Structure 1
Amino acid sequence: MSRKIQGYTILAAIGLIALSFLFRKIEMMHVADSFMVISAFVAGYRIFIKALKGLRFKIIGIELLVTIAVIGAIIIGEYWEAAAVTFLFMLGSYLEVRTLEKTRSSLEKLMEYHPSQATILENGNHLIIAAEDVKKGDIVIVKPGEKIPVDGVIIKGSATINQSMITGESIPIFKQEKDNVFSGTINESGFMHVEAINVGEDTTLSKIIEMVEDAQESKAKTQKFLEKFAKYYTPLIIILAILLWVVTNDIRIALTLLVISCPGALVISVPISIVAGIGHGARNGVLIKGGEYIEKLAKIDVVAFDKTGTLTKGTPKVINVKPYGVTSKELLMKLASAECASEHPLGKAIVERAKEEGIEMFESPDHFEVVLGKGIIASLGNETLFIGNRLFIKEKFGELSDRFIEELSLEENLGRTVVIAATKTKIMGIISIADEIREDAYTLVKSLKASGIKKVIMITGDNLATAKAVGDKLGLDEVYAEKLPSDKVNVVKSLQKNGHKVAMVGDGINDAPALAIADTSIAMGVAGTDVAMDTADVILMNDKLSQMEYLFKISRFTVKNLKQNIFFSISVVVLLILGVIGNVIFMTSGMLIHELSVLLVILNALRIVVFKDKKNKSKSDFALEKKGVLSNEM
């Protein structure tokens, strides 16, 4: 039944009950009783139908308890009780629907960001078309104040763009040529031409909406348990009511037990909190893919980070080139030719450095092979190149000389990653590459421990000296270096065997095995990255490590909230049952208390909707918020 029909039904029931009291006042008792029965039918019709449908599928639900109680009340002449019970049940149901709509409002807001039209450039003309009709490769013109209708890259112009609906950041970002932009974001100032890369349902915004929809429909383990509990609980209450009737010979007590034992508050206690938590996260650029992951996040006590692109910016640069027996230019040219087929960040850094040195023409490798966690093997003409870390070269050449190891260590102790290049017979040189640590990584350990995390570690395939240098700067608890993908899995498994709940944070691609085995996998700064969106349990849509603290706080707050709801719901049911057996609670008063408990569970869940993590805001954030620059809650 739609909320609108529910509203009309409630108003009709109120009107009929009012008429009943009016006729009772003038002592037209039969007419008054008739209006009470009609009110019970109007408010209870849908309840009765749902109960009958449930019985067809052998489901004994809450509606059946109410139906039996209402029919029984009418049979014994308790018409007011029958009308009051159906009215209160319908009112409670209506409030549940309204509140769930409120908690799902984040999804509605995301839907509002969907652009309806786009202006494309075709043969020099500006054509206005529906946003869903834009094709990949079209040139889209975006003027100030307009929503960007596609995921794409700026090919002309620049603009200040509000990306809050994607990343949760309220402060606009300046973007220029070659920068990526996302559907639904707003061009606050500037003019640009954008080449469409992802359109329609393939855009980042569309995928986010789909994921939030799926997440809000998914069920937490606690919710699944409560649904199983309700499946057995309801028949048990019916049996208990029959036994109570037999023992006391009082049908009123038995019917009252049926009414007040409805586990309505208990049934909604978990889903309403979970939906509110997922919605709050989505509003702040954190996508949690379901209630199951909120519960898992609340138990996490170890956070394991990958290094490249996670603790560091993921844009490494070549710092030093040291050739042996060849020129620097020749070394760079060969390495760039081999690495031009690679997607690894270190390979891209080498290619970029070669271009900076004026080397543009690369020889495509005849053979290219990736050796996971170690390096690559590439064939250029008659020459085979081995390019990788110390372990990889050691496997090919045996023990390395002390002088060479000393040179490697000097670079590694500076926090640099060293790539060694060799042929089948000799070492050609080394390339030192540095990846800048993210600014907000320096407060990472402190902020995570403030949110309840016991241990923060790093698991990386990089060499020990480089990893240790980064770990020492960040104050990490443990550093695991020179780990292959399978080794990373073993580290996570070892932590789990020791009783830890582990969250793995990576890019969703290179760390796939470790992400899969961890209790929870988190991908960060990946707006538009399909693989990360598919593989991670949680996605942080911006590039801020500070969101990690918020993530754990909102998950713990949500789980604490649903536990409060469960405890309160069970306590109310137990007290009501005791009250009925003690003959101090009756049908109408019991139903009123029951519906009030539902309302209190709803109000408690709404605390998640307005949750604000004030400890995670800086003074500058508060100043900006006062000026109206920051609008999103944290």
Structure 2
Amino acid sequence: MKLFGNRKLPLLGCEVVHSLPGRVRIRCPALQYFAEQKTEIQERLENGEEIMSARVSTITSNVLVCFNEQTATRESILEATESVIGSFSMIAYKAERKEKMQTTVNERRLQEEPISEMLTRVTVTTLSLLISFLSGSKPKSGIFLKRFVTMPALTSLSLAIPIFKSGLKSLRTSHRPNADTLSSAAIMASLLAGRDISALTIIWLADIAELLTAYTMERTRKAISDILSIGEQFVWRINDDGLEEKVALEYLRQGDRIMVHTGEKISVDGVVESGEAAVDQASMTGEFLPATKKNADKVFAGTVVKSGRLVIRAEKVGDQTAVARIIHMVEEATYRKADIQGTADRFSANFIPLNFVLAGIVLAVTKSVTRALNMLIIDYSCGVRLSTATALSAAIGNSARNGILIKGGNFIEMLDKADTLILDKTGTLTEGKAQVISIVSLDGRMTEQKIIELAAASEESSTHPMAVAIMDKAKRSGWRVPRHTDTKVHVARGVETKVGGKTIRVGNLKFMEENGIAAQSAHESMTRLVRRGENVVYVARDQVLVGILGIQDMLRENMKKALNRLRYSGIDDIILLTGDVEQHAEIVASRMAMDRYMAEVLPDDKAETVLRLQSKGVTVVMVGDGVNDAPALAYADVGIAMGGTRTDVAIEASDITITTDDPLMIPATIRLAKNAMNIVRQNFAISISVNTVGLLLSSLGVLPVFWGAVLHNATTVAVVLNSGRLLFFDLEKGK
């Protein structure tokens, strides 16, 4: 299943709406975004050989084209028009996405309150509660109207107006209660019973939940909006004369040729026509080493040329590129994840109507207002709501203190159900940083120090990850870099320099063979290093191979222990999913005793794997750190962005962010979630059983109103205290 395949922006589809001999009117919805480019579009159309004149209207999104019937057809004119307007696809893409996000934000603000107003409500409610508690406010009795003129009661009524409206609207339009209907019932029941502080508490908890939800959604939308403006703004397009010209990325179109130099980001998906370069495509594939790209190789937007230069023919531009599809997938997954109905709401939905039914039955049978009132005072809503709100808030607070950001209580619930874990390799299982692991001398007179010093002399000015690893080894060991001259870089092969009059070459096997350097003496050592998953670098002096280096992206410390703890926590299936090559993936999966692995997968494939697993009924947790992981993180039941090397896109796509590089935090987070959900279930049992006993005793006339209120509030206090234990949960010890 291809998630998006060659998806094109629907806005760019043009169609003929009217035609006469030599004249055709074409509608193209994307024109609404091209008011500033109107003149340029018209000029480009008229510069075409087949078109005699063109008139563009961005108001009606129409183009009127006059053409010579002897040389052109209606179909060819439509194709030419689509080609010209399609060259502005990036402008349409950004405008359409921003308009969609703004519309969604505006719709939310029409239905809900802006975040600033929510924050004001929470502040007012908090202050009112504090004043009420400090003043020793007690349950009100006596004259009925006096119960509604206390400060907490008046505050509750004023702040509950939006809740009342929403609850009544749900009953009127859908004929079923929603969360606000339940809140309204609980608030009014509390006020009627004279328990104004209980009413205020319900509003306070509801406002906090809405504020956190709105804040998280706003952050996600902002992150997506920011992503749309990230990347190269200009490219070097090669014109018909073979010269480079600097043009805005928005004007690039399919079939154009561009030049990308060292250090520049590739802005299109395309095919290399000429040149050779080392391309860092970790953001797309997860490979920690740059890949060699030459004639006929495919390249992706968002990757970076580390050395060399390429002439690329654009196959996909604007919204059609892989990186644009990744952003779109993250955005769609964010919209797809509708807010789940909380466990507390489900319980309240069943028990709130029961309270009213019981009150009516008791009043009809016993004719006792006191007994009926007890049916409303001892209600389930407050305790049940606090059962989840306090437990999940405590768990989120505890995790935040330990460097774990959980974006919502629903993800704690999903972690409790998780049975399948997918891990990215580079930057997640591994440190994402190359290190020299092995130094093999092939010359008895050459020490490890000397081999590293010669290699460092060649690589000192290079930014290649292999070179950085060699320089880091020399620096950490306190070894000096010898003086050198005439350094030459051979793209995708190696580097050579002069040290003491001798030529030092450092690079791959192909580089050695091209320079006539025999490597047979290193075959056995090379094979051993490769089997261990190390990348081999050859070091030669003049025409003699003097040593080889084994360089590897190291597995994170404690990773295997973390995976063992995950199995103990109920994770049955642990999968490695990486864009790296098969050989490296197999070695890592074997060392970590993982259940299975998938290698050489692109971002689309990672997301597809998540969806395929979910279709089998499993609950998937995805752990990653890069742009290439973002779609899978977004589509997983729980996405976890981990480590100091994680990208902003991964953070915003994920549901949980672990700010440290310690893999033990993954099983610790799951243990915290399971403990939190156990406490939620305990709270439900306490609240429901005690309140049920209270209702039974009240209906029999055994329990007075005062003690009914005491029982109800004691249950609430018990729930809060039980939830408070999560604040002291030790993530390291798991208890």
User: Structure 2 matches for 1:569-580, cutoff 5 A?
Assistant: 569-580=687-698
Match of 2:704 among 571, 586, 608: 586
Comparing 445-454 with 345-354, greater Cα deviation is found at: 345-354
2:245 is matched with none
| Helix, strand or coil at the partner of 1:543 | coil
| Helix, strand or coil at the partner of 2:554 | coil
- Using a 3 Å threshold, how does the CA distance of structure 1 residues 364 and 533 change in structure 2: closer, same or farther? farther
| 1:532 aligns to 2:655 (yes or no) | no
Deviation per CA, 1:441-482: give whole Å up to 9, x if none: 242332222333223332223333333333333333323334
8 Å contact 2:529–2:536 — kept in the other structure?
Answer: yes
State the TM-score, normalizing by the size of structure 1.
Answer: 0.54
User: Structure 2 matches for 1:253-402, cutoff 5 A?
Assistant: 253-261=371-379, 263-317=381-435
Aligned-pair distance for 1:285? 1.1
Aligned-pair distance for 1:67? 5.0
Comparing 548-557 with 310-319, greater Cα deviation is found at: 310-319
- Using a 3 Å threshold, how does the CA distance of structure 1 residues 415 and 289 change in structure 2: closer, same or farther? same
Match of 2:596 among 469, 473, 478: 478
8 Å contact 2:427–2:645 — kept in the other structure?
Answer: no
Query: Which residue type is aligned with residue 291 of structure 1?
Result: G
Q: Distance in 1 between matches of 2:632 and 2:165?
A: 47
Q: Distance in 2 between matches of 1:492 and 1:347?
A: 36
Query: Which residue type is aligned with residue 466 of structure 1?
Result: H
2:195 is matched with 86
Percent identity between matched residues is: 29
Q: Distance in 2 between matches of 1:526 and 1:417?
A: 24
Aligned-pair distance for 1:593? 0.7
Deviation per CA, 1:101-131: give whole Å up to 9, x if none: xx9xxxxxxxxxxxxxxxxxxxxxxxxxxxx
| Helix, strand or coil at the partner of 2:558 | helix
User: Structure 2 matches for 1:558-577, cutoff 5 A?
Assistant: 558-577=676-695
| 1:457 aligns to 2:580 (yes or no) | no
| Helix, strand or coil at the partner of 1:521 | strand
Aligned-pair distance for 1:277? 0.8
Aligned-pair distance for 1:235? 5.1
Q: Distance in 2 between matches of 1:60 and 1:487?
A: 43
Aligned-pair distance for 1:90? 7.1
Aligned-pair distance for 1:570? 2.4
- Using a 3 Å threshold, how does the CA distance of structure 1 residues 414 and 574 change in structure 2: closer, same or farther? same
Aligned-pair distance for 1:55? 4.2
| 1:547 aligns to 2:547 (yes or no) | no
1:6 is matched with 129
8 Å contact 1:316–1:346 — kept in the other structure?
Answer: yes
8 Å contact 1:278–1:287 — kept in the other structure?
Answer: yes
Q: Distance in 2 between matches of 1:9 and 1:288?
A: 32
- Using a 3 Å threshold, how does the CA distance of structure 1 residues 496 and 245 change in structure 2: closer, same or farther? same
5+ residue gaps, structure 2, are: 1-123, 169-179, 213-336, 441-450, 476-480, 494-506, 509-522, 539-547
User: Structure 2 matches for 1:15-414, cutoff 5 A?
Assistant: 41-42=149-150, 44-47=153-156, 54-57=163-166, 58=168, 60=181, 67=188, 85-86=194-195, 89=198, 221=340, 223=342, 226-227=344-345, 230=348, 233-234=351-352, 237-261=355-379, 263-317=381-435, 411-414=529-532
Deviation per CA, 1:296-325: give whole Å up to 9, x if none: 22222222222222222211147799xxxx
- Using a 3 Å threshold, how does the CA distance of structure 1 residues 497 and 235 change in structure 2: closer, same or farther? closer
Q: Distance in 1 between matches of 2:188 and 2:587?
A: 69
1:596 is matched with 714
8 Å contact 1:10–1:91 — kept in the other structure?
Answer: no
8 Å contact 1:336–1:362 — kept in the other structure?
Answer: no
Aligned-pair distance for 1:594? 0.8
Q: Distance in 2 between matches of 1:293 and 1:68?
A: 32
Aligned-pair distance for 1:515? 2.5
Q: Distance in 2 between matches of 1:306 and 1:51?
A: 47
| 1:521 aligns to 2:610 (yes or no) | no
Aligned-pair distance for 1:414? 2.0
Q: Distance in 1 between matches of 2:602 and 2:379?
A: 56
| Helix, strand or coil at the partner of 2:416 | helix
Task: Give the CA RMSD over aligned residues.
Answer: 5.1
5+ residue gaps, structure 1, are: 21-32, 72-81, 104-217, 322-327, 366-375, 378-386, 389-404, 421-429, 617-633
Deviation per CA, 1:13-34: give whole Å up to 9, x if none: 66999xx9xxxxxxxxxxxx68
Query: Which residue type is aligned with residue 415 of structure 1?
Result: G
Aligned-pair distance for 1:39? 7.8
Aligned-pair distance for 1:491? 3.9
1:416 is matched with 534
State the TM-score, normalizing by the size of structure 2.
Answer: 0.47
Aligned-pair distance for 1:520? 1.8
Q: Distance in 2 between matches of 1:570 and 1:606?
A: 19
Q: Distance in 2 between matches of 1:359 and 1:352?
A: 21
Aligned-pair distance for 1:509? 2.0
| Helix, strand or coil at the partner of 2:676 | helix
Q: Distance in 2 between matches of 1:548 and 1:472?
A: 20
8 Å contact 2:623–2:633 — kept in the other structure?
Answer: yes
1:169 is matched with none
- Using a 3 Å threshold, how does the CA distance of structure 1 residues 222 and 418 change in structure 2: closer, same or farther? farther
| Helix, strand or coil at the partner of 2:628 | coil
How many residue pairs are counted as aligned between the two chains? 426
Query: Which residue type is aligned with residue 6 of structure 1?
Result: L
Query: Which residue type is aligned with residue 691 of structure 2?
Result: V
Match of 2:629 among 498, 507, 511: 511
Aligned-pair distance for 1:603? 0.3
Deviation per CA, 1:567-594: give whole Å up to 9, x if none: 3222233333323333323322111111
